[in-house]
Amino acid sequence: MVHTTKGIVLRTVKYGDTSIIATLYTELFGIQSYMVKGVRKSTRTSAGKAGYFQPAAILDMEVYHNEQKQLQFIKNFEWGYLYENLLFDVKKNAVSMYVIELLQHTLKQPEANPELFYLIEDTLKQLDKGSDTLSANLPLYFILHLGSELGFRMQGTYHRDTPILDLQEGVFMHEKPLHPYFLDGSQAEITSQLLALHFYNDLERIALNRHMRRELLEAYHSYLALHISDFGEMKSLSILQEVLS
């Protein structure tokens, strides 16, 4: 059957002389791999079509879907959203590549999760339009909300009675845990503020220096690794930290 769905490109590899295999996170089917034939041809009708499948591209697609197969096929595709800045701005592009690699490390199963798709789509669109402050704070916001969509949302808020955030249990608590995976002080307070945000524009109000962002990013990576098996090392993290510094 042919289905209409949106998709966000996560990874593309060349296949044969003219084709590609693209992995996308789709609105209807979750993470899927597609054979896209002929898009690397140098003919007039095919020129430039491979550019649709660069990481972070948002596409509207007609796809053939067979649950018994691991490799699907795309019938038609077009831009679902045309970026104005993300592909050309160094900082925004670094953040987008970080978000895409983060998804590669965290999305393990093909099940659909429309709310997660909308989170990813909205994050990339807001990044494209947002200010430098929003772009710099966006990775922190995205990690926390990604964890929520994957089923391990942090519980509670920062308060004088609960000033410690236990990353292993994912809860604000009164006393430090026996293990080393926790945040306290300003790091716990800022995390509580980020968790409470409902709109991307509110990220403008959170003023962080590069050292605090670096420490929080590393802590949030520990948080993901504690809850996702084989999370692995993020290659884009060092690039992101350098660009945002």
pLDDT (0 to 100) of residue 68: 87
Burial of 220 (0-12, 13-18, 19+ CB in 10 A): buried
Cβ density class 77-90: b for 16+ within 10 Å, e for less: beebbebeebeebe
pLDDT (0 to 100) of residue 45: 64
Show the low-confidence residues of the chain (pLDDT under 50). Answer: none
Provide the domain count of the chain: 2
Burial of 241 (0-12, 13-18, 19+ CB in 10 A): middle
User: Does 105 share its domain with 224?
Assistant: yes
The token pair at 111 is 């099940």
Q: What pairing do the DSSP bridges indicate for beta strands 164-166 and 171-173?
A: antiparallel
User: Does 55 share its domain with 95?
Assistant: no
User: Does 46 share its domain with 109?
Assistant: no
Residue that is written with structure tokens 């595709």 in the block: 77
pLDDT (0 to 100) of residue 44: 65
0.85 exceeded by pTM? yes
Among 82, 106, 134, the domain boundary falls at 82
| E strand or H helix that includes residue 114 | helix 114-129
User: Does 100 share its domain with 180?
Assistant: yes
Query: What residues make up the domain containing 195?
Result: 85-245
CATH number at residue 33: 2.40.50.140
Among 82, 99, 131, the domain boundary falls at 82
User: Does 97 share its domain with 58?
Assistant: no
User: Does 126 share its domain with 237?
Assistant: yes
pLDDT (0 to 100) of residue 179: 95
pLDDT (0 to 100) of residue 75: 93
pLDDT (0 to 100) of residue 103: 96
Give which of 40, 66, 64 is closest to 53, Cα–Cα. Answer: 40
Give which of 161, 45, 179, 53 is closest to 170, Cα–Cα. Answer: 179
pLDDT digits (tens, 9 = 90+) for 75-110: 999 999 999 999 999 999 999 999 999 999 999 888
Residue that is written with structure tokens 């080393």 in the block: 180
User: Does 50 share its domain with 66?
Assistant: yes
CATH number at residue 196: 1.20.1440.120
Return the axis-axis angle of helices 185-196 and 210-227, rounded to nearest 10°.
70
Among 25, 48, 82, the domain boundary falls at 82
| CA distance linking residue 157 with residue 161, whole number of Å | 10
Is the distance from CB of 154 to CB of 147 less than 8 angstroms? yes
3-state secondary structure of 242: helix
